[in-house]
Amino acid sequence: MTKVKVLVLWGYGINCEQETNFVFQKVGAHSEIVHLSEIFSGEKSLKDYHILCFPGGFLDGDHLGSAQACSHRFRYLKIQGKTSLWDELMDFLSRGGLILGICNGFQLLVKMGLLPGGTYLGQRKCTLTYNDSSRFEDRWVLLKVNPKSPCIFLKGLTEIYLPVRHGEGKFIPESSSLMEELKKHGQIALQYIHPYTKEPTLEYPFNPNGSIEAVAGLTDPTGRIFGLMPHPEAFNHFTNHPRWTRLSDLKAQGLTIFENAVTFVKENVL
C-alpha cells in the first residue's frame, strides 16, 4: 500500500520540526524532516511528496519581518540555476498536494502570497505583524472553526483549544473588500473566540495578538492550503492540555488536523 509522504522542513531557525514530524508519523504518514538547503539545492524535490509542511519557529532574516527573507527564496530562487522553485511549488499544488503552515510557517505562506491564494496566488494581499501587546505571547487559546470553510484540515471540528507562541501574529488585510471576499469564500477558517460567549473576539488575552476579525487561520479557496498561528502539533496527546489532570475524556484535538490531511491524500490523490 502506497504511503502518504510528508515533507517537514527545517533549518535556518525552524524549531518545531521534530514535534510536527512525530505527529504526522503518529497518524500514519511516512514523514521526513528535510533541511531547507536540500530543497534549494535540488537534492530533495517536492515532486516526491504529497504534503508539504512549514513548521513553526523562526527563520533567518526575521528581523526584516517574520518569514520575509525566506519568502523571497521561494519566489525567486532557481534550483541549480535552472528550475524555478516557485514553479516547482506550483507543480506540487497542481498535482493535488497539500500545504500546511504553522505559526512562522503561516507567516511564510502569507508573505509568499500562497494565502489568501485563489486569484491572488503569488500576490501579498495581507500580512501578519507585531502583536498589539508588543510582546511574545505564549498561552492557550480557544478557537472557532468556520463551518462554511472548504479547509480539508479542519473537517469534523467545531472548536479547538491550542497553544500560541508568537510575537507577530496580528492579521491585517490589505482592504475591507478583501476581508469581505475572504468571508464570502469561507477562507477565514479559524478565529479566536471568547471562552464564555463563544464568539470571535478582539479582547485580550483571548485574542492574543489583536488580529482583525479575530483571524487565527486562513485557507485558500480550494481548502488545500492552510495556515494558522496556533500550534496543533503541540496538542498531540491529552497530557499536553494544561488541565489534563482535572478534565475527563480529553482528546488531543491537534491530531485531527493532521489526520484529516493524511485521509484526504489517501482518498483523493493516491
Residue 151 bears catalytic tag? no
Task: Residue 185: name the closest of 155, 130, 232, 222 by CA.
Answer: 222
List 17, 137, 168, 233, catalytic entry: 233
Residue 137 bears catalytic tag? no
Residue 121 has a CB neighbour count (10 Å cut-off) of: 16
Residue 103 bears catalytic tag? yes
Which amino acid is it at 150?
Answer: P
d(CA 192, CA 179) in angstroms, rounded, equals 16
Which amino acid is it at 265?
Answer: V
42 in Cβ contact with 80 (< 8 Å):
yes
List 103, 151, 166, 259, catalytic entry: 103
List 19, 231, 241, 259, catalytic entry: 231
Task: Residue 230: name the closest of 248, 211, 203 by CA.
Answer: 211
Helix (H) or strand (E) holding 266: helix 253-268
DSSP 3-state of 108: helix
52 phi and psi, to 5 degrees? -115, 125
Q: Known catalytic residues? A: 103, 231, 233
